[in-house]
Structure 1
Amino acid sequence: MKTVLIPTDFSKNALHALQYAQELYKCERACFFVMHAFGEEVYGEYNTVAKEDVEKLKEEKKQETERKLDELLDLVQGEPPNPLHNFEAVACFNNLVDGVNDFVDDMNIDLVVMGTKGATSDHKTTFGSFTIEVFKYVKCPVLAVPEDFEYRQPKAILFPTDYLLPYKRRELKLLGDLAGKFKSKVHCLYITDFDELSPRQEDNKLFLEETLTKPYLYFETAPVKNKAEVILEHIDKKEAGMLVMMNSRHSFFEDMLYRSTVDLLGLKIKIPFMVMQNLKR
């Protein structure tokens, strides 16, 4: 059974991400944990709440959060409910990133699914600040779903990779299971001006082939120019329904997200975007 965590701020984008997750695992046993982290609502942005008022406000916010979560689950479970799906509400007295990370560890979560932006995000950017923080710090694959993306099976998945990092089997299995059940094509895209791979790259590529046995796997290269443009071109060319990238320090992914150059690079992702963390769990 898949365990899926969906953080929510009760925005339209968060609801859409939850509904996308339900469709993605429609024919598979899954437990959906729907979490709202309310720690910052208690303490305030600048920790201005008086100490004597914290416990009272904490209890009020906890009850309000539990009520909203119950209403949300009533909304999404459907009539009749999917017998393969279980839902659990999680009211978390913590900040978003720490709350998600602790829950991922405690419950051995397979995948975090969330919106690309929350209720207060700048609509001129591709990713909201909370989504970027979850991408950056949570030790679990994270799938971000754009609010205006209409669900369709990801028959083609674009996976830009340089084969330099050793992949984690558990995360590749998650991708392989997902792509396998939809009979998806996974296009491994290496953006390079070199024709040959190093022995290390060859080994990692072989591990990729041996692990991703369920989907149709394709290996392609593209010359170096603006990497964001190359990715966008291949998303259109392959009619990709999902983009997958590895999170690693000193990588294109880091440049793209952590240095706030999404708009400068022109990378406007209109499809679900999965970030695999490549961390030991």
Structure 2
Amino acid sequence: MKTFLVPISCLRDKKATLIYAIDYAKVSGAEMIYGIQLNEISEEDHLEEIMEHAEKQNIAINFRFFEGDTIEYIKEFCEDFNVDLIIASARTPEPNDTLYLDNLSGSIVKKTEMPVLLIPENYEYKPIKTILTAIKSGIVKTKGALIPLEHTLITAKADMTLLQIKTPSYLPEDLMFDKDLAILTSKYYSSENATLFQGVLEYIHVIEPDMVCVFRRKRGFFEKLWDDVTLDHSLDKGVFESRVPLLVLKGDQ
């Protein structure tokens, strides 16, 4: 993974996400970060501080200002510039904030086929030692879906704990495991829960991961994003949230 894209609605408010992206890029061996700014950059946006941090980490960073259909632009940009990963901001985990994903981040998860790393607001980079990957089925249907996970495990020298959550719709064939997923697994847990999110909540304090990894699903974690009744693609914390970086792998599992 060599090229990251960081879409932001406001550079001043999302500075921490860009700083995290720079630090993560350094560890993962990325060479370029593109920042898409939806509003004009002002003197109060700490651009100089961000550029200095990127220079210290030896990471190239390039900003693009854009107006128009944001998601279509992001999809075209990812294809034109061979983007490997989108790093986006999740909402702050403060108790008085009911949203986990705002409309921009929710739309990116729903409407693009890119892997997305969601960073809690104001979250500082920490060494990644343990990744919790939550699944329903052990079969990975999308070719190349595991690349961001595998790359992070190798470059960060981390271990992966696999949590298989058996929901009421669980099928016996879900116990079959993709060989590449099995190779990446250091520990395995199995849990029976009403939803995948409940299974994660049950084990998050047992495993204490530095990153959580899930698959982009039309059912399960992000089911509410596919509700076409509203054009708002935000996601409430009552449906799902993560207080550590969340890696969303492309494709349905």
TM-score by length of 1: 0.74
Say which structure is richer in helix. Answer: 1
Aligned CA-pair RMSD? 3.1
Partner of 1:255: 223
Change (3 A) 1:79 1:238: closer
Which of 234, 238, 246 aligns to 1:273? It is: 246
Which of 191, 196, 200 aligns to 1:222? It is: 191
Identity of aligned residues (%): 18
Matched, 1:127 2:95: no
SS in 1 for 2:127: coil
Deviates more, 1:135-144 or 1:87-96: 87-96
Can you list the C-alpha shifts for 1:74-122, whole angstroms capped at 9, x where unaligned?
221226823631111112232221121111111111011111149xxx9
Structure 1 segment 89-100 matched on structure 2, within 5 A: 89-100=63-74
Amino acid at match of 1:96: T
Q: Could you tell me how far 1:262 is from its partner in structure 2?
A: 3.7
Larger Rg belongs to: 1
Asked whether the equivalents of residues 136 and 167 of structure 2 are also in contact (C-alpha less than 8 Å), the reply is no
CA distance in 1, matches of 2:119, 2:141: 23
SS in 1 for 2:221: helix
Change (3 A) 1:79 1:93: closer
Partner of 2:230: none
Q: Could you tell me how far 1:166 is from its partner in structure 2?
A: 2.9
Q: Could you tell me how far 1:172 is from its partner in structure 2?
A: 1.1
Partner of 1:43: none
CA distance in 2, matches of 1:239, 1:221: 16
Matched, 1:144 2:118: yes
Asked whether the equivalents of residues 140 and 178 of structure 2 are also in contact (C-alpha less than 8 Å), the reply is no
Count of residue pairs brought into register by the alignment: 241
Asked whether the equivalents of residues 54 and 61 of structure 2 are also in contact (C-alpha less than 8 Å), the reply is no
CA distance in 2, matches of 1:87, 1:2: 12
Structure 1 segment 22-171 matched on structure 2, within 5 A: 22-27=22-27, 28-37=29-38, 65=40, 67-68=41-42, 72-78=46-52, 81-82=55-56, 84-117=58-91, 123-163=97-137, 165-171=139-145
Amino acid at match of 2:246: F
SS in 2 for 1:33: strand
Can you list the C-alpha shifts for 1:109-145, whole angstroms capped at 9, x where unaligned?
1011111149xxx932111122111110112111111
Matched, 1:179 2:156: no
CA distance in 1, matches of 2:11, 2:55: 22
Partner of 2:10: 10
Q: Which runs of 5+ in 1 are unaligned?
A: 39-64
Asked whether the equivalents of residues 153 and 182 of structure 1 are also in contact (C-alpha less than 8 Å), the reply is yes
CA distance in 2, matches of 1:83, 1:262: 35
CA distance in 2, matches of 1:207, 1:7: 30
CA distance in 1, matches of 2:54, 2:161: 37
Partner of 2:180: 207
Can you list the C-alpha shifts for 1:246-271, whole angstroms capped at 9, x where unaligned?
1132x202325445774444x44211
CA distance in 1, matches of 2:163, 2:47: 39
